[in-house]
A and B are shown apart, each in its own frame.
Chain A
Amino acid sequence: MATQTIPRPAVSASTPPPVASGARRRKPPLARVAATAVVAVLAVAWLVPFAWATVTALKSETEAAATPITWLPASGFTLDAFAKVLGSGNIPTWTFNSIFTSAAITAVTLVISALAAYAISRINFRGKNVLMGVIVASIIIPPPVLIIPLFQQMQSLGLIDTYWALILPQVIHPPMVFVLKKFFDQIPRELEEAALMDGAGRLRIFTTIVLPLSRPILAAVAIFVFIGAWNNFLWPFIATNESSLLTLPVGLQTIKSAYGIQYAQNMASALLAALPLIVVFLFFQRQIIKGVATTGLAGT
C-alpha cells in the first residue's frame, strides 16, 4: 500500500510544468548579470541603424547634410521629409501593391500546398512517392537560375508588367509542402476514419477535420511565405517596369536613384517602407517568432 502511494508524487515531479523559455535556475547570478549586460549592449548596437535613420528622416535636408553630424539637430526635428515623400511619391501605391501581391501569393501557396500535402500524407495514389521525391529534390533549385527563362515565358504570355507576373511564379514553395505533410502525418487517422465511414468525402474531411487542427502550422507557413514575398526583390525588379505596379522594395530602389542626395527623404521613404511589417510584427510577435522557428529549418 505504502509502496503504491509513494511513486505517485514522484511521477508528477519528474514531469514538471515547462520552465519559462529554458531558464536555468542554477546559473550563478553573476554570470546572468554579465550576460544581460553583454546582450543589452549588443541589442542597443542592433537598434542603431533604425535610430540613425529615424533621426535623419526627422531632420531638414540641410541639417541632414551638415557636418559635423549630430543626433540632435540645432533647428529641431521636423516632419518635412515624411510630408514630401508621402505627398509626391508613389509610396502608398507601392504599399498597396506589396500588400495585395504578398497576400495573394500567400493565399494561393497555402491552398495548393495544403491540398497536395494532405493527399501525399493520406491518400494512396499511384506515383505519390515519386511526386514527393521530385518536390523535395526541387528545393535545391536556386530561384535566380530561373529568372531568364521565366522572363521569356512571362513575356511570351504577355504578362510582363501585370500583377500576374508578380504572383504566379512565386506560389511554388516545395519546402512548405514538406512541412505541411509532416504535420498532417501526425494527426491520428482515427479522427478521419469515423467520418469516412459516415460517407463524408475527402475534401469535406480535409476542410472540416484536418484544416482546423492544423491552424498553428498553417499560420507558420503563411507567415513565412508572406515575409518572403513582401521582401522579394529580384523577380519583381525584373517582372515590372511601370511605376504604378512596383512593389515597395523595387519602388524604393527607383527612389534611391531619383532622390540622390536628399538624405532625409531617403530615410523617410525607407522607414515608411519598413513600417507595415514592423507594426505587424509588434502585434503578432509570438506567432511570427514561433512560425519562423517552425518552418525556418525547412529552407526558404
Chain B
Amino acid sequence: MTTSRLTAPQRRLPRAVLPRDIPRRGTAPRDIPRTAAPRGSFRDNWQGWAFVAPFVAFFLMFLVWPLLSGALMSLTGKSLTGANDGFIGLANYAEAFADPDMWRSLGNTLYFTLISTVPLVVIALALAALVNMGLPAQWLWRLSFFSPFLLASTVVSLFFSWMYNPQLGLFNDILAKIGLPPVAWLNDPSMAMWAIVIATVWWTTGFNFLLYLAALQNIPQQHYEAASLDGAGGWRQLFSITLPQLGPTTAMIVILQVLASLKVFDQIYQMTSGGPGGATRPVVQYIFEAGFTGYRLGYSAAISYIFFGLILLISVAQLFITRKRSA
C-alpha cells in the first residue's frame, strides 16, 4: 500500500508541469493525505509566514501599495511638479469620461486587440498543426518562428520602421516588383494600425505557436490510430480530434492574448508615437502622456483606473464565456 502510493506520484516527477496540469476550476489538487500535523500549529504558523514573508513584503510594497496609492491619487489634482495637491473627488473621472482623446485612445487599443488577436491565434495554430505533421527538422521551424519573440520591442520596431520606409523600404520595393502601387504604411492613418499588427504578428506569433505545439504533442496518439483504423482521413481527424482536443488550450491562449494586446504600448510608441494624428495612440500611451508630458499625475491615475476597469470587465466576460462553454 505504501509502496504503491510512493511510486505513482514519483513516476510523474521528472516531467515538467504541462499546461494541462493547470487546474480548471472545481478540480481540487491531488493531495496526498496530510500527516498528523494539526492545522495552524504555532510552529507551522511562524514557519509558513517566515517562508512567504519576502514575497509578501515585495508584493505589498510594489504591487498593493501602488495600486492603493494610485486609486487615491486619481482623486487628487496631483501634478508631476508637486503642485496642486488637493482632493478633488471624482472630478478627474468626470473629465476623463468627457475627454474625446481618452475615448479615441481606448478605441484604438480595442481595435488593435481585435485585429491582432485573430491572426496571432489562427496563424499560430495553423503553423503548429503543419509543423506537427511529422515534418523533418523540427528544431529549424521552431527556431524560425519563435526567435523573433526573443527580440526587444525596440529591435522589432527598428526592423519594421526600416522595412516600412516609403522610398527605401523593402515592402514597397516588393509591391513595386509585383506591379502594385506604393503604400504609405506608418504614415497613412488607415494603414498604420495594420502595419503595426503585421510587425506584432511577426514578433509574437512564435509564442502562441510553441504553446499550441506543446498541446498538440499531448494529444494521445491512440486517438489518431483509432481514427485511422476507422478510415478517417487527415481532414476528418483535424476537425474531429485535433481541434476539439485543443479547445481548452485555445481558450487559455485567447484569454492571455487579449490581455496582452490590451496592454499594447511599446511597438506603437516606437514606430508611430501614436500617429499619424493620434490614429494609433493606445490608451497606455495616453496614460503615459497625461502623466509625463502633461504633468497631471492625478488625471493620469484616473485614466489608469478606467483602463483597469475595462480589463476587469473583459476578463470576467471571457471567464464567463469559457466556463459556460466547458460546463
A171 B63 Cβ-Cβ under 8 A = no
Q: Which 7 A-B pairs have the closest CB atoms?
A: A125-B48, A119-B51, A23-B134, A149-B70, A249-B152, A293-B214, A116-B55
Contact A188/B10 with A131-B52, A172-B58 known, Cβ cut-off 8 Å: yes
Could you tell me the distance between the alpha carbons of A273 and B35 in the complex, rounded to whole angstroms?
53
Tell me, in angstroms, the Cα distance from A39 to B136 when the chains sit together.
11
Report whether over half of chain A's contact residues are helix, strand or loop; otherwise say mixed. helix
**Residues of B near any A CB (own CB < 8 A):** 2, 5-6, 9-10, 12-14, 16-19, 21-23, 29-32, 34-35, 37-41, 44-52, 54-56, 58-59, 61-63, 65-67, 69-70, 73, 127, 130-136, 138-155, 157-163, 167-168, 170, 173, 202, 207, 210-211, 213-214, 216-217, 219, 221, 224-225, 228, 234, 249, 252-253, 256, 259-260, 262-263, 265-266, 270, 284, 287-288, 291-292, 297, 300-301, 304-305, 307-308, 311-312, 315
Are B301 and A168 within 8 A (Cβ)?
no
| Extra A-B contacts (18), CB below 8 Å, given A142-B263, A177-B55 | A31-B234, A36-B136, A53-B162, A56-B162, A67-B168, A115-B55, A144-B284, A144-B304, A152-B73, A153-B62, A153-B66, A172-B59, A182-B21, A188-B32, A253-B270, A267-B162, A294-B17, A294-B19
Q: How far is the CA of A111 from the CA of B54 in the complex (A)?
A: 9
Complex Cα–Cα for A65 and B210 (A): 37
* B173-A68 in contact (CB<8A): yes
Do B135 and A233 touch (CB < 8 A)?
Answer: no
Q: Closest residue of chain B to A291, judged by CB?
A: B16
User: Are A22's CB and B228's CB within 8 A?
Assistant: no
Quick check: A120 and B52 within 8 Å, CB to CB?
A: yes
**A2-10, A79-87, A212-220 - the one binding chain B:** A212-220
Assembly CA distance A53 to B270 (angstroms) = 17
Q: How far is the CA of A110 from the CA of B261 in the complex (A)?
A: 27
Selected from A26, A35, A269, A278, the residue in CB contact (under 8 A) with B130 is A35
Question: Does A179 reach chain B (CB closer than 8 Å)?
Answer: yes
Chain A's closest residue to B159 (CB) is: A49
Give A154 Cβ to nearest chain B Cβ, in Å: 9
CB within 8 A of B153: which of A183, A233, A295?
Answer: A233
Q: Does A297 contact B (CB under 8 A)?
A: yes
Contact between B155 and A182 (Cβ–Cβ < 8 Å)? no
User: A72 contacts the other chain (Cβ, under 8 Å)?
Assistant: no
Q: Does the CB pair B266–A234 fall under 8 Å?
A: yes
- Quick check: A144 and B265 within 8 Å, CB to CB? yes
- A169 at interface (Cβ–Cβ under 8 A)? yes
If A22-B134, A143-B263, A231-B151 touch, whether A125 touches B47 (CB-CB below 8 Å) is yes
A53→B216 contact, CB < 8 A: no
Interface residues of A in 160-193 (CB under 8 A from B): 168-169, 171-172, 174, 177, 179, 182-183, 185-190, 193
Chain A, range 228-254, C-beta contacts under 8 Å to B? 230-231, 233-234, 238, 248-250, 252-253
- Please determine whether A115 and B155 come into contact, CB atoms closer than 8 angstroms: no
Q: CA A186 – CA B315 in complex, angstroms?
A: 29
Q: A168 contacts which chain B residues (CB < 8 A)?
A: 58, 61-62
Q: How far is the CB of B233 from chain A (nearest CB, A)?
A: 9
User: A213–B15 Cα gap in the complex (Å)?
Assistant: 11
Of the A-B pairs whose beta carbons lie under 8 Å apart in the complex, a sample of 24, sorted by A's number, is A21-B217, A26-B224, A116-B56, A126-B45, A144-B304, A145-B305, A148-B297, A148-B301, A149-B69, A153-B62, A171-B58, A182-B22, A182-B23, A185-B30, A186-B13, A187-B13, A202-B47, A213-B13, A234-B265, A253-B270, A256-B157, A289-B142, A289-B210, A293-B213
* Given known A24-B224, A152-B69, contact A281–B150 (CB-CB < 8 A): yes
